[in-house]
Structures are given as C-alpha cells and as structure tokens.
Amino acid sequence: YTTHSGDRDFNVFPMRSVRTAEWKYIRNLHPEFQFATHINRGGLRSGRRYWPSWLEAAEHDREALGVVDRYRRRPAEELFYVANDSHEQHNLAMDPRFSGKLAAMRDLLDKWLEQTKDPLAVFGNPLLRGEEATLIE
C-alpha cells in the first residue's frame, strides 16, 4: 500500500495504491488536478533542465505530445499488470477483460483505507488541468 497527498506545491496530486506481486492499482483522488512535480515545476537550480525540451518536442512530434499529455493527465484509476509491464505503460483499468481484477484491487485498497482511517487530505495548492505550471525554485 502507498499514499501520497502532496509535497509542498511541487506535487499536489493525491493518490493511493496497492500492489501485489503481479498487479498494481492506483486511485488518483483528484484526476481534475494536473500531475505536476519537480520535473516540470522545478527551476533550473533544481537540475530539471529537460522539461522544456519535452515541451519543445511535443510541439512538432505526436509521440512526444503523447508522453507529455500522459505525464500531466492521470485518469481516476490505473491498473497495471506489472509482471509484464514493469514501466506501467499499459493502463488496463478500462479494459473489460480485467474488470474482476480491478474490482478485487479496489476492494483491497478500500479495506486498507477504512482500516487506516485515511482522511484523503489534499496538501498544498493543486495545479488544475489546462493551467500552465509555474517554476518553483
């Protein structure tokens, strides 16, 4: 089980997850937030100089645009068969063939959230989808 609620204003994208030997389920509590971390919000002093090159490539390369969009926009739920997809590139949450596994992983997470009395809090100021990330030094 894992939790994340926020890291100052660098990463205000609360999520909860559960992982087994073969599967990983992620529940993104606020998919309307833009996923923003030190990668795209950290200034040059933080050593994150490659993000501008991603944006530049996305202007003229459809595949690069897909990478940027996938980074910024996370769905409400993600389900990965990590036994064959260790880099978590193929989200199976919407695939009806895996609806049983999705339900089982949801149940595992729900029971853990109830057991831990997780308040599902948001810390920091989120960046909403469509807003441009400002650099934080």
pLDDT tens, residue by residue, 19-65: 999 999 999 999 999 887 777 777 666 656 778 888 899 999 999 99
- Written as six digits, the tokens of 79 are 């389900």
The torsion angle over the Cα atoms of residues 9, 11, 17 and 21, rounded to 10 degrees, is -150
The domain over range 2-116 is classified in CATH as 3.30.1120? yes
User: Is-contact 93 77, C-beta < 8 A?
Assistant: yes
pTM of the model: 0.83
pLDDT tens, residue by residue, 84-108: 999 999 999 999 999 999 999 999 9
Burial 15-46 (b: 16+ CB within 10 A, else e): bbbbeeeebbbbbbbbbebbbbbbbbbbeeee
Domain ranges of the chain: 2-116
Q: Is the pLDDT reported for residue 117 higher than 60?
A: yes
Q: Which amino acid makes up residue 84? A: N
The pLDDT of residue 108: 98
